[in-house]
Amino acid sequence: MNKVASASFAGAVLEWYDFFIFGTAAALVFGPLFFPSEDRLTGIIAAFAASAVGFLARPLGGLVFGHFGDRVGRKKSLLATLVIIGVATTLIGCLPTYEQVGIWAPILLSVLRLLQGFGLGGEYAGAALLTIEHAPEGKRGFWGSVPQSAAAAGVLLATGVFALVMQLPEDAVFSWGWRIPFLLSSIMMVVGLVIRFNITETPDFKKAVEEAAGKPSRPPLLILLKESPRALLLTIGARLAETTASNVINTFTIVYVSSQLALDRSIPLRGVLIASAIGIFMCPLVGWLSDRVGRRTMYVVGAGFMALFAFPYFMLLNTQNVTLIFVAMVMAFNFGQMTMFAVQPTFFSELFGAGVRYTGLSIAYQFSAIFGGFSPLIAASLLKFGGGEPWYVAIFLAVVCLVSLICAVVVKAGALPVSAALGKPAALRGNL
């Protein structure tokens, strides 16, 4: 389990790093570089729109790699996603800017963002299932949370690299410094490939293949749509709170604190660093607790906390006190977003049989990610609509979290049987 979890964690860190550096760059440098405008906030909104484009491709990636992950194996799909997102990220670091090639700059940036999203669309479910399906019964919550902590590590790494880059003179940052975080992905991709080549296929998938030998098969997606549309809708709804909170905390907050509150941009970056560092350890702790009190319980706690904390969060930011800003970001990230994120893959995957699990988990996660991807854009627009006051953003965040809380309470594993796409029905297991 240590070897499997380490391999899953290492690959996931790379892919989350690649995806998060785009969001960080959108908040800090992409506006003037690719979307120049006399109004700084308008340029930032345009950069967030380009960032959101990547989320549109994630469902397609989830469908494609979910299908192949359920038919040919988790390992092969994970190797493909690693290459796609690594190459796309490296190429972003080589792009010319708007000043150099005009409108082609934002077009090429958006295309590569689409490729990033397509690759990450197949990564989440595969990395999670790699550990969950290897893990012993009674410990799947803990082991399933290990690759989830890779997201916090990816945020930490992406923000840390950008924090170092931002120490350069401003001219250097906007001429060549911003490229460094993207070009580093090429080195990390090679390391990730070496690690993932040495992992084995999961026991659950092997068993599904054996059971399906000689039996007719149907595409996993068709089975899901026919037998459990309710499961898909409820899991998509349940995840909205986590993806929205993540993008508001990790991306929109950087803009709000640095632009609207006119504080040094290193402050929100350090806040994300501290919150992410704690999140690496918070994630497995929540997973361990979920093995004892249930996945649903922990998920509801996270969604409920985030709904209640939406207004206090912005109140603490508005104090412009650095310590209180850090406290707000740490609490929102770890007690809200990370508490939900830690148990998501185990909670959701236990709703589906092994033969359709990769597809089901991918669809649930990636379709909700479309909404999450537009959250910074929605938040920035609400901020402008509110005359620079964040209360419409707080209402937006609280309402989304309440919707997810209701979905998490309503969803029931026992009422959602799903046939294995590779053969006979797979039994539902797990402590919900």
User: Which residue, among 261, 273, 68, 244, has the nearest Cα to 156 in the 3D structure?
Assistant: 273
pLDDT of residue 212: 60
Of 19-23, 45-49, 199-203, 305-309, the one with minimum mean pLDDT is 199-203
DSSP H/E element including 90: helix 74-92
Please give the model's pTM, rounded to 2 decimal places: 0.75
pLDDT above 50 for 140: yes
Name the band, by pLDDT with cuts 50, 70 and 90, for residue 96.
very high
pLDDT of residue 211: 65
The domains located in the chain, with CATH, are 2-410 (1.20.1250.20)
Tell me how far apart the alpha carbons of residues 164 and 162 are, in angstroms, rounded to a whole number.
5
Name the band, by pLDDT with cuts 50, 70 and 90, for residue 330.
very high
- Mean of the pLDDT values across residues 289-300? 91
Cβ of 407: how many Cβ atoms within 10 Å?
Answer: 20
Euclidean distance between the first and the last CA atom of the chain, given in angstroms as a whole number = 22
Residue labelled with tokens 């040094």: 264
Tell me how far apart the alpha carbons of residues 102 and 191 are, in angstroms, rounded to a whole number.
35
In 277-389, at which residue ranges do the beta strands (DSSP E only) sit? none
- Mean of the pLDDT values across residues 215-223? 68
Cα–Cα–Cα angle for 306, 123, 183, rounded to 5 degrees? 100
Distances from the Cα of 204 to the Cαs of 215, 337, 357, in angstroms?
18, 29, 10
User: Which residue, among 307, 324, 308, 310, has the nearest Cα to 257 in the 3D structure?
Assistant: 324
pLDDT of residue 213: 58
Tell me how far apart the alpha carbons of residues 426 and 432 are, in angstroms, rounded to a whole number.
17
Name the band, by pLDDT with cuts 50, 70 and 90, for residue 414.
very low
In 205-246, at which residue ranges do the beta strands (DSSP E only) sit? none
- Mean of the pLDDT values across residues 250-269? 85
pLDDT above 80 for 42: no
Cβ of 158: how many Cβ atoms within 10 Å?
Answer: 26
**pLDDT above 90 as % of the chain:** 22
Q: What is the pLDDT of residues 61-91, one digit of tens each?
A: 888 887 777 777 777 887 888 889 889 999 9
In 133-291, at which residue ranges do the beta strands (DSSP E only) sit? none
Q: What DSSP designation does 133 have? A: T
φ and ψ at residue 203, rounded to 5 degrees: -60, -40
Structure-block tokens of residue 333? 């990230």
Q: What is the DSSP string of 320-341?
A: --HHHHHHHHHHIIIIIIHHHH
Burial, 311: exposed, middle or buried (Cβ in 10 Å; 0-12, 13-18, 19+)?
middle
Question: Which of 97-101, 224-228, 301-305 is most confident?
Answer: 301-305
85 CA to centre of own chain: 14
